Structure 1
Amino acid sequence: MKKIGLITIYSVPNYGSVLQAYATQEVLKKMGTDCYIINYTYPNQWHYSIGFKKPNLKNKVAQFLGVRAIHRKQKKLQAFKKKYFHFTKEYPTLDALRQENWNKYDVIATGSDQIWNAKYLKGDSTFMLSYLPDNIKRISIASSFALKSLPPQYIDKYKKHLSKFNALSVREQNGINIINNELSIDKEVKIILDPTLLLSKEEWLNLIPRSNFHKTSKYILFYMLDYAFNPKPYIFEVTAYLATKYGYKVIALEGYKK
């Protein structure tokens, strides 16, 4: 059985990030591999040193107590990861990853999600697999830049590391354009579905216990991320119009803050 290490972003309090990590793990397992999610701390002290907001004691206590809705969501996501993720040991920094012996893995994969988004990585090359020795096979799975083009200061770094990949796949046409044109990497890049869409409805429903939520009236389920396209404020006008026209209430998961 092939052993695969998977590195992705799963620690942000976002349903999509956590569920894509789980789905990618499960898709790789269904392909007959032994998949481990590489437990890289993101963000870490390096990110805080360049301006990332560091959680203070007050925020940590509020999260533990579940004071706000976002804190309660964080606790639920933590419980989900603890139960379903097949983690490696923890790697708190990029240097810790460099010190590991990766020869025990057949392949290291990165993806899916916005793992190459320069806006959030700020030059962190971890998700470009910069810590691997050249002999280790590396692939990307439905990776996203979430940008139309890369900031010029990152071009050389991205080209250096992504040119070493044995196979490249992205989830947006912009990704192909960036790799082939901006980075001048002459390799085939495929567009594939995000792994969340490669699991069946039954696989998702069997994952969770029956909800205590009982529908008492019709509603609009609202979930929006605006990293690639910003529909605000129009999306709020449409939602309000539909809610008024049909008498539906709005249940919001993400993005309903004007």
Structure 2
Amino acid sequence: MKVGIMSMHRIPNYGSFMQAYSLKKMIESLDHEVCFVDYQVEPSITKRKRPDEWIKCFIKNKKREWFNRGIIDQILHKEEKEKDIMRSCNGLLEIDENYAFHCKVDVLVIGSDEVFNCTQAGENVGYSPELFGKNARAKKIITYAASFGDTTYDKLQRYGVTDDLMKWVSRINNISVRDNNSKEIITSLCKKTPIINLDPVLVGNIEKLKWKKPDLEYEYIVLYGYEYRFSKEECDKILHFAKSENCKVIALGERQFKSDIFIKCRPDEVLGYFSEAKYIITDTFHGSIFSIINHKKFVSLIRKATPQSSGNRQKLGFLLEQLYLQERLINSIDELSEKMHKNIDYVNVDKIREEERNKTMKYLENCIGER
């Protein structure tokens, strides 16, 4: 079969890269040919009544579709693209700067990541009917570990998009999500009961591959979060903890207000940094997953939703409950030392992961079809 994956594979984020790569490897292990299919984004759900937003989206989408890496684009952005660390491993995904829209495939797999999170805003994320299977050129459409993120059914009703989503989702042949919120939304939309699967990074065994490891002469703690999301006060307390452990603090991937070192590594180097760290401090979904697959002691800091940013309790809480790791959650950085030093039963975690991997492979094999 020719299998297309429609995911967040172009988002410049380590988690987005790793989940896409892991899903690709799992499907290829079933002897299928895999390609990535790009999607087009419409105006954000709060700006859909503004004609200027539709014009902006039309121009952006057509530029990507028609020009790809045109001469003007190469001249203006060549130096920037050559220095773009986050896109340096696109070869592992077998994608380039040419967007692949409306690809004809036997099976389209939508997921994983927050592909259904249609109330978020951003240049490459947000309201995209194609992420719900609209206009797919595929004989069969399935999803894998798809998530609505912090989008709720109430939000969808408030913005008046439930009828459209119901129509599109009802046409999807098999639906897999990664959390209870997404399961409840799908059930409310189309009365289907989706299966829940773990994120591909947790079940893909990619940590067993030979990833490059850092050559550092000191012990370190990885501080992993979105840019400047750890406050100055939190950073001070983290640095104090690190000093008591004779470690340096590496802000990995994104800058924080304070750290000993900032490192922007390639996507194929991130697991190496996690594997060699003494401890991990994170407030992200995939930061927690990178810690787990490398059997590290870690804590995941809970964030409340604000008008400027979404919270993480829902997705982090459900993830760690699945693996019986709720004790790794902290509501305040003041809990850091107490929680970090508690041991983790990774024998039990790995047992759950292996069971979930078997469940994943059976789902993919059954849904994609015969080789």
**Corresponding residue for residue 161 of structure 1:** 168
**Corresponding residue for residue 90 of structure 2:** 81
**Corresponding residue for residue 203 of structure 2:** 198
Which structure has the larger Rg?
2
**Corresponding residue for residue 219 of structure 1:** 220
Listed one character per residue, the Cα deviations across residues 101-135 of structure 1 (whole Å, up to 9, x for unaligned) are x3xx33111101111111134422111120126x8
Say which SS state the counterpart of residue 136 (structure 1) adopts.
Answer: strand
Q: Is the 8 A contact 2:41 2:126 kept in 1?
A: no
**Corresponding residue for residue 139 of structure 1:** 142
Say which SS state the counterpart of residue 11 (structure 1) adopts.
Answer: coil
The alignment status of 1:127 with 2:127, answered yes or no, reads no
**Can you give the 5+ residue segments of structure 1 that lack an aligned partner in the other structure?**
none
Q: Is the 8 A contact 2:42 2:126 kept in 1?
A: no
CA separation of 1:158 and 1:200: change in aligned 2, threshold 3 A: same
**TM-score relative to the length of structure 1:** 0.72
Number of aligned residue pairs: give it: 227
CA separation of 1:43 and 1:59: change in aligned 2, threshold 3 A: farther
Say which SS state the counterpart of residue 193 (structure 1) adopts.
Answer: coil
CA separation of 1:61 and 1:178: change in aligned 2, threshold 3 A: same
Listed one character per residue, the Cα deviations across residues 74-93 of structure 1 (whole Å, up to 9, x for unaligned) are 3xxx23112x224599556x
Q: Is the 8 A contact 1:222 1:254 kept in 2?
A: no
The alignment status of 1:34 with 2:33, answered yes or no, reads yes
**TM-score relative to the length of structure 2:** 0.52
Distance 1:90 1:63 in 2: 16
**Can you give the 5+ residue segments of structure 2 that lack an aligned partner in the other structure?**
44-52, 64-72, 258-371
Say which SS state the counterpart of residue 106 (structure 1) adopts.
Answer: strand
**Corresponding residue for residue 187 of structure 2:** 180
Q: Is the 8 A contact 1:39 1:87 kept in 2?
A: no
Q: Is the 8 A contact 2:39 2:131 kept in 1?
A: no
Distance 1:21 1:11 in 2: 9
Listed one character per residue, the Cα deviations across residues 212-231 of structure 1 (whole Å, up to 9, x for unaligned) are x22311110122259xxx88
CA separation of 1:59 and 1:232: change in aligned 2, threshold 3 A: farther
Q: Is the 8 A contact 1:112 1:140 kept in 2?
A: yes
Distance 1:220 1:35 in 2: 36
Q: Is the 8 A contact 1:114 1:144 kept in 2?
A: yes
The Cα shift of 1:26 comes to 0.6
CA separation of 1:249 and 1:87: change in aligned 2, threshold 3 A: closer
Whichever structure has more strand as a proportion of its residues is: 1
Q: Is the 8 A contact 1:5 1:107 kept in 2?
A: yes
**Corresponding residue for residue 15 of structure 1:** 14
Say which SS state the counterpart of residue 108 (structure 2) adopts.
Answer: strand
Q: Is the 8 A contact 1:41 1:90 kept in 2?
A: no
**Corresponding residue for residue 268 of structure 2:** none
Identity %: 23
Q: Which amino acid aligns with 1:111?
A: G
- RMSD of Structure 2 on Structure 1 (CA): 3.6
Distance 2:97 2:151 in 1: 35
Say which SS state the counterpart of residue 214 (structure 1) adopts.
Answer: coil
CA separation of 1:87 and 1:39: change in aligned 2, threshold 3 A: farther
Distance 2:37 2:249 in 1: 37
The Cα shift of 1:160 comes to 1.6
